[in-house]
Amino acid sequence: MDKQILALLKKIIGREGVLTTPEDLAVYSYDGTFERGCPDVVVLPCTTDQVSQVVRLAAQAHIPVVTRGMGSGLAGGSVPSLGGIVLALTRMNHILEIDRANATALVEAGIVTADLQTAVENLGLFYPPDPSSIQESTIGGNIACNAGGPRCLKYGVTGNYLLGLTVVLADGRALKAGNKCIKDVVGYDLLALFTGSEGTLGVITEAVLRLIAKPKFVRTALVEFPSLEDASRTVNAILTAGIVPAALELMDETAISCTEEAMHLGLPLDVEAILIIETDGSDEVFVLSEMETIADICRTQGARQVKVAKNELERSNLWEARRSVTAALARRTPNKLGEDITVPRSAIPEAIRRLKIISYKYGLPIVIFGHAGDGNLHPNILFDMRDPAQWAKVGEMVKEEFTTALELGGTLSGEHGVGTLKRPYMQQALGPLSIEIQKRIKQTLDPLNILNPGKVFPE
Partner 1 sequence: MPAHILASQPTEEQYLNCIRCGLCLAVCPTYREDLSEITSPRGRVALARKGLEGELKISSNLIEQMYACFNCLACNAICPVGIRPADLALDMRTLQERIRPKTWKKVLFGGIFPKPERLELSTWPLCLYENLGMRRLFYSLGLRRLLPGRLRDMEAMLPRLPQRPLRQMLPEISQVNGDERYRVGFFLGCLQSLIFADESAAAVRVLARNGCTVVTPKETVCCGMPALGFGKSEQALQQARHNILLFEKADVEFILTDCATCGSTLKDYGKILAGDPVWAERAEAFSKKVRDISEFLMSIPLEKPKGSLEARVTYHDPCHLRRGQGVWEQPRALLRMIDGLEFVELDEADWCCGLAGTQLITHYETSLKVLKRKTDNLAATRAGYVASGCPACQMQLNVGVRRASLDMQVVHPIALLDRAYLSITFPAKTAGRCIHPNQEITKVTTTNKKEKRWTSRSSPYSKK
Which positions touch partner 1 (CB under 8 A)? 19, 21-24, 26-28, 30-34, 42, 44, 70-72, 88, 90-91, 93, 110, 112, 114, 133, 135-137, 258-259, 262-263, 324-328, 330-331, 333-336
Q: Would you say 379 and 367 are in contact if contact means Cβ atoms under 8 Å apart?
A: yes
C-alpha distance from residue 424 to each of 26, 144, 394, 419, 439 (Å) = 26, 20, 14, 10, 15
The end-to-end CA distance of the chain, in Å, is: 26
Q: What angle do CA 135, 348, 158 make, to 5 degrees?
A: 30
Q: Which is nearer to partner 1, 158 or 404 (CB)?
A: 158
Sign for the CA dihedral angle at 13, 16, 22, 23 comes to negative
Give 408's strand partners. Answer: none
Q: Which is nearer to partner 1, 23 or 270 (CB)?
A: 23
Distance of closest approach, residue 46 Cβ to partner 1, in angstroms? 10
Give 378's strand partners. Answer: 369
Give the whole-angstrom CA distance, residue 245 versus residue 278: 6
Q: Which is nearer to partner 1, 89 or 170 (CB)?
A: 89
Distance of closest approach, residue 390 Cβ to partner 1, in angstroms? 15
Q: Which is nearer to partner 1, 26 or 192 (CB)?
A: 26
- Identify the H or E element spanning 285: helix 284-300
Give the whole-angstrom CA distance, residue 29 versus residue 440: 29
Residue type (1 letter), 438: Q
Q: Choose among 95, 143, 150, 147: nearest CA to 119.
A: 95
Q: Would you say 198 and 144 are in contact if contact means Cβ atoms under 8 Å apart?
A: yes
Distance of closest approach, residue 282 Cβ to partner 1, in angstroms? 27
Q: Would you say 291 and 279 are in contact if contact means Cβ atoms under 8 Å apart?
A: yes
Q: Which is nearer to partner 1, 110 or 128 (CB)?
A: 110
Q: Which is nearer to partner 1, 251 or 343 (CB)?
A: 251
User: DSSP states of 372-436 as a string?
Assistant: GGGTEEEEEEEE-TT-HHHHHHHHHHHHHHHHHHHHTT-BSBSSS--TTTTGGGHHHHHHHHHHH
Give the whole-angstrom CA distance, residue 102 versus residue 110: 23
Distance of closest approach, residue 89 Cβ to partner 1, in angstroms? 10
Distance of closest approach, residue 358 Cβ to partner 1, in angstroms? 21
Q: Which is nearer to partner 1, 122 or 179 (CB)?
A: 122
Distance of closest approach, residue 417 Cβ to partner 1, in angstroms? 16
Give 209's strand partners. Answer: 105, 162
Distance of closest approach, residue 320 Cβ to partner 1, in angstroms? 9
Q: Which is nearer to partner 1, 328 or 366 (CB)?
A: 328
Distance of closest approach, residue 356 Cβ to partner 1, in angstroms? 23
Q: Would you say 30 and 76 are in contact if contact means Cβ atoms under 8 Å apart?
A: no
Distance of closest approach, residue 373 Cβ to partner 1, in angstroms? 23
Q: Which is nearer to partner 1, 214 or 323 (CB)?
A: 323
Q: Choose among 34, 44, 48: nearest CA to 79.
A: 34
Distance of closest approach, residue 435 Cβ to partner 1, in angstroms? 30
Torsion of CA 179, 182, 183, 187, to 10 degrees: 30
Q: Which is nearer to partner 1, 28 or 425 (CB)?
A: 28
